[in-house]
Structure 1
Amino acid sequence: MRRPVPRHLRAALPVAVAAALLVSACGGGGKSQDVAEAAPVGDTLSNPQDSTDSTAALVKAVADYLDAQAEKRGKGSPEDAATKALAEAVAKAQADDPLPAAPVAAGKAPVKQSKQQVESLRAANSYEGATSAKANARIAAQKNGVTDVGVTQDAIKMGTVTMHGMALGNVLATPLVNGVKATFASINDRGGVLGRRLSLVDCDDGPGEVSRSKACIKKLVQQDKVFAFLGYSSWASASVHSDLSTYRIPAIGTWAYSQTEWQDSYMFPTHMSMIHEAMANAHWVKNVIKPKTYGLVCLASPEMQLACQQVQKILDESGANLVRKLDVAISETSMSAQILSMRAANPDHIVHYVINPATMVKFMVEAAQQGYYPSKGISGNHLAAEVLGSLFGQHPVGRYWTNTTYKLWGPEFMATMNKYARGNKGLNHHIVQSSYVGALVFEKAAKAVGPNLTRERLMAQLGNGDVYAADATLDQRFSWAPSERYGQNWNNEYGQGREYMYKYTSTNTVSNPDGTPSGFEPDPDQFVIYTNK
């Protein structure tokens, strides 16, 4: 992992933290579910000894605002005491210690930041200052290292929820959990997080049922006493936002099945959202395939329907004509009828957004049995997996493409899996990569927070605008600043703005020994694909 971007690039902090909280609160609304024995809350973010009075007041206001997020807000209005206090603290901090000016035009001298300004920003948002580090260590020592739920002097207990009961769960869900445990083991072998060893408690919510997923969260928080979630790979991920808010517990490295994961201040996805994936794929189809007609295969879920709407919007504007749209269930027993329907429509190209690999495996197998394939091939998401060749077979070779958040596969990632998760050999896929990156992001952010590790401090660090980069071979970056969560012009260098397109070229899709892909090749026409172009 690379270090977060330098502090001089954070031109509007700590106001950015306040803005992020304001936006997320306005979007959430409503009252969270009442849950007995909610997990206790750690220390607030402020430490008056670390900075000026105005900065300390601002940081305390941010912490108070976090406290108020889980409480009912009158008719959704942000005009409550916490919001007013936060606004006043922002104004006071700006008046007492003005923030650096916005970047100036090229050729003009930048406005120089004072030492006091820089230290104030660092103390408030990155916990990197020397004074702050000493204070953090002192607080942690006073508590014997028990700084929050699930955190002791020598351990951090994390939780995850996985749908082991999904179709192909043994080759998709199990490797996910193995991948997180493997990454934790690698972190522990290099000293853990400031001496604290990571452990993981997994909870199975079956086929991704919402009620079972919520029960998992309750168990992990109340019974297992986990500090935070690492990954959340379940169809229910779009339905647990209120649970995270109620328990005030962050989830790092979620799989972004739902766009709402990017809009939840308690979630920190390490994967492009499905709607953005659909946009990027559609632009690639428009730019490279240039079909006159096209078909859609879409999962009958709200998230995938929204994704397919974006595909249709982009391709229709390019002049292509949608001739058939198939809405399919997660548990389709056969795709023969759907294939016959698509054959009758005879599209040049088919785009699929079903996220469930089992459905498209059935489509490919039965298409081969019928001797059918569209003239300009098929493309879609979530099928970058080492096991793909053994499932798809020869029929789609050379005429199938899948988009993925990370480059495949990467020597560091594969070395970690080969050493600590040998059972994953031949079963790694791009969501394992996502969880791997999520674990490394947590390691980096928790170290930046320091010994006084609390949920609130971790969330403030992750949301302060820093950019967290995967290693160079995976070539992906993430920031959970408001512009990436809520904006319309996502940064083309970050994980919400760009992905990669791979062509399926061989049934041997198990990674090469050096970590390079086999059976997947970068698309020769447009390898890097973008959400907005």
Structure 2
Amino acid sequence: MSIKTKSLIAAAAVAVVAAGAAEARNAPGVTDTEIKIGNTNPYSGPAAAYSSIGKSISACFDMVNDKGGINGRKINFISVDDGYSPPRTVEQTRKLVEREKVAFVYQGLGTPTNSAVHTYLNKKKVPQLFVATGATKWGDPKNFPWTMGWQPNYQSEGIVYARYILDTVEDPKVAVLYQNDDYGKDYLHGMEIGLGDKADEIIVAKESYEVTDPTIESQVVNLANSGANVFFNVTTPKFAAQAITKIAEIDWNPLQILNNVSSSIGSVISKAGFDKSQGIISAAYFKDPTDPEWQGDDEYKVWSDFMDKYYPDGDKTDAFTAFGWSACNTMIKVLEQAGDDLSRENIMKQAANLKDYRAPMLLPGVMINTSPTDYYPIEQWQLMKLEGEGWKRFGEVLDGAVGSGS
């Protein structure tokens, strides 16, 4: 090989590397040393119990940065408070995109809040990745190609509960308390789908609440007066604890079904009281850190060590910290797959190309799979019952894909 040929090959290699670096530098929110990620979280307001998700994700990225970052780039995670208020989410998201110029927004929490910026981010072609809400609307790549959920969708969860009711409750009469927005209505619709033709007959009462309401006690009393023997509690943590407490106070004894996003031992059950919560049914897709079954588990040990070092003030009984850890690792996986092409287009492409990925702390048998036409990363559930001071899982891992996207 001649010196000239060698020089041409070397020059071409340098050009390729330079092009890759330029591509990264030219991508919004990305430099040779940094990836800037935006997030909105309710660090205050009626859904502040979820703030531990944002805090655990921030701690996770601190850990990543201590290890040298991802492909040599540190994560600059800008997480801001929106108080679970949609107008405030709009304001904060615009600042993240237009002032901070983040590469993408990630794990924004809440259905009403994410809905408020859904169209804006898609028009801007800014990835709205792994939103912390299970509304079915996040899995619509045809109409909203820049938005993707993470957790199983609410309709599929409602269907799983409906099947359990039909299988175990004689002459079921269901009363539903739900948040008056897409979040609550998605769960209600899933329950109706699962009950099928009998839905109008079986659901004997419905009461909604607004996120700004101070209490839901009057709604619970109205539902109790309906004669229902099943109570479907579709709320956020503050109201979930209120409902469980009120049910015990008025001596109503229905089968209680509590949606997953309010099933945290630390944020809900312990606040309502373990004595008032016995027998409640919920569903899970990631490991409950309070479950003794996982105490000797390797994934639990890694998570526990992470908490001790990077989030020492965090509550290990709060399932939302495990949720944040698992969701953070999913984002890490996407960025690793993206390599040096950190354009918004490629980040979205890699998010839609996860194959049998097992994020740490997911339940055995629960895998993450996505494709350009499947924006529902997790689609499995396992039912569980509150016994003593923890959840006890039962039955098989259920495929909740039915109802996805409906």
Unaligned runs of 5+ in 2: 1-12, 290-298
The two structures have a TM-score, normalised by structure 1, of 0.64
Label 1:206 to 1:136 Cα distance change in 2 as closer, same or farther (>3 A): farther
Does the 8 Å contact 2:357/2:369 carry over to 1?
yes
After superposition, the C-alpha distances for 1:195-222 in whole angstroms (9 at most, x for unaligned) are 111121112222322x221111111112
Q: What is the one-letter code of the residue matched to 1:415?
A: D
Distance 1:190 1:290 in 2: 56
Where do 1:441-452 residues align within 5 Å? 441-452=330-341
Does the 8 Å contact 1:406/1:474 carry over to 2?
yes
**2:309 is matched with which residue?**
419
Label 1:134 to 1:480 Cα distance change in 2 as closer, same or farther (>3 A): farther
**2:204 is matched with which residue?**
323
Where do 1:434-445 residues align within 5 Å? 434-445=323-334
**2:4 is matched with which residue?**
none
Q: What is the one-letter code of the residue matched to 2:393?
A: P
The Cα of 1:289 is off from its aligned counterpart by 4.1
- Which of these residues, 257, 260, 263, is aligned with residue 384 of structure 1? 263
Q: What is the one-letter code of the residue matched to 2:392?
A: E
Structure 1 vs Structure 2: percent identity of aligned residues? 16
**2:188 is matched with which residue?**
308
Q: What is the one-letter code of the residue matched to 1:443?
A: I
**1:172 is matched with which residue?**
50
Where do 1:332-351 residues align within 5 Å? 332-351=213-232
Q: Secondary structure at the match of 2:213?
A: coil
- Which of these residues, 374, 387, 391, is aligned with residue 520 of structure 1? 391
Does the 8 Å contact 2:257/2:280 carry over to 1?
yes
Q: Secondary structure at the match of 1:308?
A: helix
Label 1:466 to 1:287 Cα distance change in 2 as closer, same or farther (>3 A): same
After superposition, the C-alpha distances for 1:290-346 in whole angstroms (9 at most, x for unaligned) are 552222112211342232122123225468722222222223334333233222222
Q: What is the one-letter code of the residue matched to 2:312?
A: R
Q: Secondary structure at the match of 1:352?
A: strand
Pick the structure with greater CA Rg. 1
Label 1:359 to 1:146 Cα distance change in 2 as closer, same or farther (>3 A): same
**1:292 is matched with which residue?**
172
**1:458 is matched with which residue?**
347
Where do 1:102-501 residues align within 5 Å? 137-142=17-22, 146-167=25-46, 169=48, 171-173=49-51, 175-209=52-86, 211-234=87-110, 235-263=112-140, 264-289=144-169, 291-317=171-197, 321-354=202-235, 356-374=236-254, 376-387=255-266, 388-409=268-289, 411=300, 412-426=302-316, 428-430=318-320, 432-464=321-353, 466-471=355-360, 474-475=363-364, 476-485=366-375, 495-496=378-379, 498-501=380-383
After superposition, the C-alpha distances for 1:477-526 in whole angstroms (9 at most, x for unaligned) are 223325534xxxx8xxx613x112221223x4xxxxxxxxxx11113x45
Q: What is the one-letter code of the residue matched to 1:213?
A: T
The Cα of 1:470 is off from its aligned counterpart by 1.0
Distance 1:445 1:237 in 2: 21
CA RMSD of aligned residues (A): 2.8
> Which stretch shifts more, 230-239 or 255-264?
255-264
**2:400 is matched with which residue?**
530
The Cα of 1:528 is off from its aligned counterpart by 4.1
Q: What is the one-letter code of the residue matched to 1:530?
A: G
The Cα of 1:405 is off from its aligned counterpart by 3.2
Distance 1:285 1:382 in 2: 20
After superposition, the C-alpha distances for 1:394-425 in whole angstroms (9 at most, x for unaligned) are 34333202223323235133332232111212
Distance 1:427 1:237 in 2: 27
Does the 8 Å contact 1:383/1:402 carry over to 2?
no
Does the 8 Å contact 1:283/1:530 carry over to 2?
no
Distance 2:39 2:237 in 1: 21
After superposition, the C-alpha distances for 1:34-81 in whole angstroms (9 at most, x for unaligned) are xxxxxxxxxxxxxxxxxxxxxxxxxxxxxxxxxxxxxxxxxxxxxxxx
Distance 2:234 2:344 in 1: 35
Label 1:306 to 1:168 Cα distance change in 2 as closer, same or farther (>3 A): closer
Label 1:266 to 1:529 Cα distance change in 2 as closer, same or farther (>3 A): same
Label 1:176 to 1:377 Cα distance change in 2 as closer, same or farther (>3 A): closer
